[in-house]
Structure formats: C-alpha cells, structure tokens
C-alpha cells in the first residue's frame, strides 16, 4: 500500500511540475518533470525509511518534488550563463534573458527565456578557438534542452559559417533554424518556442 501511494505521488508531482506558469515562452517540461519526479521519489522513500507513514511520505514527496523542479530551472540557467560567459570571453556581446516562473508548489525562480549573441564575422570564419568553444557550448545547450528551441542567425560575414558550425553540432536535429543570413547585424538568438 505504501509503495502504491509513493508511485501515485511521484506521478502526480511529475504531472504537476508541468503546470509551472510563465508570462510567455516554453518551459523545459521534460527536464522539469524528471527533476521533480526524482525529488519526489527520494523524499517519499526517505520519509518511509526513517519511520514516517504514508501521509509523511506524500508530504515529503511534494516538498522534495518542488525542490527538484527548482533545481532544474537553476541548472538550465547555469548552462545559459556559462554560454554567455564563453561568448563574452570570445569578444562577443551576449545577454541572457530570463522570466519569472512559479512551480505548482508556489516557488518562484528565474527561468531561461533566451540568449542573444552578437558575433564577430571574421572570428567565426576563422574558427578561432574561443569562437569554437562558444559553438561547442551552444551545441551542448541544444543537446540538453528537452523543449524545442528557435535559433535565429542574422548577418553577412560569418553567418553561413555559424550555421555550418551549428549543423556540425547537430543543434537542428531537435530545434528550429531561422536562417536570416544576408540581412541584419551579426547576431545569433536562441529562444524557447512557445507550447501551443
């Protein structure tokens, strides 16, 4: 009976973790649900191991699930901030944008809402080591993201090379490319696509 209650609580927390609210954009619900579910399971089992009853296990599950969801947002923000720092180290202007989100447990935190990187075309064409590192980090962010991202490329010099480096890192296997090479400033913008 206790195990059945924990399984039900884990499933409920995973479902509820997808109910985070935001003003716009998309949340990485798969990653969020996984973190919340793991937190819930650990909290529920921990309560039972240390002498709690079913009620204690469910309460611990909900609390730990909320902590897991919060940790997921923080991990995604850490990855975005590392990409931003790498871009700046390569001489690019880079800005991460965030938005407040509230989990189903009422916790508020900042979630990734996008990054804009103004690149130096000649550095991208030359594939300088610092520039390659930026694209490696961008590729890693794309590989880890469970929600679909939109990657918009603009500019003339280096824009096609930027798209090529993103293709090499298989960013577009899961995400959408908006190729606007040949127009505008030399910019790469990554944003979560809205869930419809």
pLDDT digit string, tens, across residues 109-119 = 888 899 999 99
Task: Check residue 60 and give its pLDDT.
Answer: 52
Residue 95 makes CB contacts below 8 A (sequence gap 6+) with 84, 115, 116
pTM: 0.65
In angstroms, the Cα distances linking 74 to 32, 35, 60, 63, 92 are: 11, 11, 21, 17, 24
Q: Is 48 helix (H, G, I), strand (E, B) or coil?
A: helix
How many whole angstroms separate alpha carbon 160 and alpha carbon 24?
30
In angstroms, the Cα distances linking 183 to 23, 29, 149, 156, 162 are: 30, 34, 21, 6, 14
**CA-closest candidate to residue 17, choices 34, 35, 40, 33:** 33
Phi-psi region of 93 (alpha: psi -120 to 50; beta: other; left: phi over 0): beta
The answer, yes or no, to whether residue 168 has pLDDT greater than 70, is: yes
**CA-closest candidate to residue 17, choices 68, 80, 59:** 68
How many whole angstroms separate alpha carbon 103 and alpha carbon 88?
31
Greater confidence, 184 or 103?
184
**Domains in the chain with CATH codes:** 2-74 (no CATH), 77-192 (3.30.1330)
Indicate the DSSP class of residue 126: H
Residue 150 makes CB contacts below 8 A (sequence gap 6+) with 175, 176, 178, 189, 190, 191, 192, 193
pLDDT, tens digit, for every residue of 52-71?
A: 666 655 655 555 554 555 67
């Amino acid at each position: 009976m206790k195990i059945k209650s924990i399984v039900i609580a884990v499933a409920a927390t995973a479902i509820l973790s997808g109910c985070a609210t935001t003003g716009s954009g998309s949340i990485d619900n798969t990653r969020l649900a996984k973190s919340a579910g793991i937190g819930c399971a650990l909290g529920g089992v921990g309560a039972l191991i240390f002498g709690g009853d079913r009620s204690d296990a469910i309460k611990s599950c909900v609390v730990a699930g909320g902590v897991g969801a919060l940790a997921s947002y923080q991990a995604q923000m850490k990855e975005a901030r590392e990409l931003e720092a790498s871009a700046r180290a390569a001489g690019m202007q880079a800005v991460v944008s965030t938005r407040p989100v509230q989990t189903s447990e009422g916790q508020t935190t900042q979630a990734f809402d996008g990054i804009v990187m103004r690149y130096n075309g000649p550095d991208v064409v030359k594939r300088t080591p610092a520039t390659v590192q930026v694209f490696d980090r961008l590729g890693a962010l794309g590989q880890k993201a469970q929600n679909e991202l939109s990657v918009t490329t603009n500019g003339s010099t280096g824009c096609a090379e930027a798209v090529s480096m993103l293709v090499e890192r298989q960013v577009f296997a899961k995400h959408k490319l908006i190729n606007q090479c040949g127009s505008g400033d030399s910019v790469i913008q990554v944003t979560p696509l809205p869930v419809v």
